[in-house]
Structure 1
Amino acid sequence: MSSFDTSAWAGTLAWAGGAMAVVLLATFVVSKIVGKHAVIDTTWGLLFVTAAVVMAVRSTGDDTRRWLLLALATVWGLRLAWYTGKRSIGKPEDPRYEEMLDKQPGNGDLYALTHIYLLQGVLAFIISAPILVGGFERSSVGVLAWIGVAIWAVGLFFESVGDAQMARFRADPANKGKLIDTGLWRYTRHPNYFGDACIWWGIFLVAADALPGVATIFSPIIMTLLLTIGSGARILEKSMSKRDGWDAYAARTSMFFPLPPRVKKAVTS
């Protein structure tokens, strides 16, 4: 018997893509009701949960790996959806989407569907590869997969704790316009993004424990690039750099990977 059910996997890709498209269309309807496209940020995590659920229902691989991938993707995706959804309540449209749509007068809905919803759907589908492939691997889970679970746990810690620390910081009116440089933010300027990257490297290792999961390495690479030089840290730092103390904070704090703060050497005469 083949170690990978190619026929069932191909059918699952179609089901996963269709299910994710339904979620995106529902999100677009909600966006029209609430009057902002920023709701797609909440749906981002749910797209991966959708892919994982479809995989779990249809996959024919090792049960331990299937349930591991479902659990890791679902815990991460639901937490992210809950956090972004809660944070956006009562907030206006995201300036990123406003800027995009202002350039398309009279064609806003079509442009939003193709450049916001479709684009994020395609990215989520591609990044879901370790989940959609790993669920069909029939070999037993090995050490590499459990290392992946450990890296995933580190990522969840950095992402959830970093988000919680930022939420508490912003909730204090005395911190308005200031930069957070305590907690995990003392060691990296983006603990939540670092955590997100770890999440996907961990999920990849669970799939890479067997062939053809190794071939899905493009997934964590794409996610890491999005977080560092794509729509993540690069754009956020443009806003952060306008705040008082940014130069000093950036000089002593690692951009992405957590490191001890750099100490400026005293100049001696």
Structure 2
Amino acid sequence: MNPWWSLLAVWLLAAAMMTLGWQWQRVRGNAGIVDVLWAAGVGGSAVVLALIGDGAWPTRLALAVLGGAWGIRLAVHLWKRVRGEPEDGRYQNLRAHWRGDQWKFFAFFQFQALLIVLFALPFLAAARNPDTSGLWLPAALAMWLLGVGGESIADAQLARFRADPAHRGRTCRDGLWRYSRHPNYFFEWLHWFAYVCLAVGSPIGWLAWSGPVVMYVFLRWISGIPFTEAQALRSRGEDYRAYQRSTPMLIPWFPKRTAR
């Protein structure tokens, strides 16, 4: 299938899914579902593109398994938070800023559908890769295991910390969170290099670099760290400011010795 028709199919599916998600948040007043659907949509796009791609079957199989498993893990993790907690502070602030305007929320959900297409570009490159020689396939698996494994550990450490009522209003500094303020984001970014490895040899392999590049831009400057840290400062105040002074923002490193 023509790659542009493939992306159109991904967009149509994502737009329909996000429309249903918008309706869900209208009824329940929780826009956090958009994060769940984004993860499921990006992971699902890897499976769809692997199925309709014309590359070598081992690469397409690896793409479907790795991309699909990543999407399922992240979507389930996010769903547990959306289902069991009040609406995330980021979306509460948007709701207040937009005064509950549902057309703005609809546009926001549909923008997420377009982002699914953007993040599907590395999968498109891998799905058209005719080359299965060399060590790039096992390298992709190793990078995926490192990224998804690290993110899973960071998520579990944060969930365990948040589950203790004694930690309310405090900042997690346990495990990986001692070395990075956002270790989950760091390993999420790292995992996108797996698809760069899968796309080596593809006629459009350069597209795979859009994954780590665009993900870094979004995490660092747009929708990840800026929103997360603004909410942390509102909820944890000086404790989080001390954490900012002592702990690297994204790439893990040893913390500075500063007073909290």
What TM-score does the superposition give when structure 2 sets the normalisation length?
0.89
* Candidates 10, 21, 45, aligned match of 2:4: 10
Quick one: distance in 2 between partners of 1:105 and 1:236?
Answer: 21
Whether contact under 8 Å (2:56, 2:132) holds in the other structure is yes
Q: Which residue pairs with 1:195 in the alignment?
A: 187
Moved more, 210-219 or 220-229: 210-219
Q: Is the 8 A contact 1:179 1:244 kept in 2?
A: no
In structure 1, the residue matched to 2:15 is 21
Residues 144 and 191, structure 2, Cα contact 8 Å, conserved in 1: yes
Q: Name the residue aligned to 1:227.
A: 219
Q: Counterpart in 1 of 2:204? A: 212
Match of 1:36 among 27, 30, 48: 30
Q: Tell me how far apart the structure 2 counterparts of residues 218 and 53 of structure 1 sit (CA, whole Å).
A: 18
Shift of 1:37: 1.9
Residue 129 of structure 1: how far off its partner (Å): 0.4
Residue number in structure 2 paired with 1:92:
86
**Is residue 111 from structure 1 mapped to residue 86 from structure 2 by the alignment?**
no
C-alpha change, 1:103 and 1:171, in structure 2 (3 Å) is closer
- Give the equivalent residue in structure 1 for 2:168: 176
Match for residue 128 of structure 2 among 123, 132, 136: 136
Give the number of equivalent residue pairs.
Answer: 256
2:152 paired residue number: 160
Corresponding residue for residue 77 of structure 1: 71
Separation (CA, whole Å) in 1 of partners of 2:229 and 2:94: 19
CA distance in 2, matches of 1:141, 1:43: 35
Match of 2:246 among 235, 252, 262: 252
Partner of 1:267: none
- Structure 2: gaps spanning 5 or more residues: none
Deviations 1:161-219 (A, max 9, x none): 11100011011111111111120111111110001101112222222343311233122
CA apart distance, 1:30 = 2.0
| SS, match of residue 129 in structure 2 | coil
- CA RMSD for the aligned pairs? 2.0
Residues 36 and 74 of structure 2 are in contact (CA less than 8 Å); yes or no, is this contact kept in structure 1? yes
Letter in 2 for 1:113: F
* Secondary structure at 2:2 match in 1: helix
Alpha-carbon distance change, 33 to 246 in structure 1, aligned in 2, over 3 angstroms: closer
1:57 equivalenced with 2:47 (yes/no): no
2: CA distance between counterparts of 1:141 and 1:129? Answer: 22
Tell me the TM-score normalized by structure 1: 0.87
The sequence identity of aligned pairs, in percent, is 29
The structure having more radius of gyration, on CA atoms, is: 1
Instruction: Find the aligned partners of 2:198 and 2:204 in 1 and give their Cα distance.
Output: 12
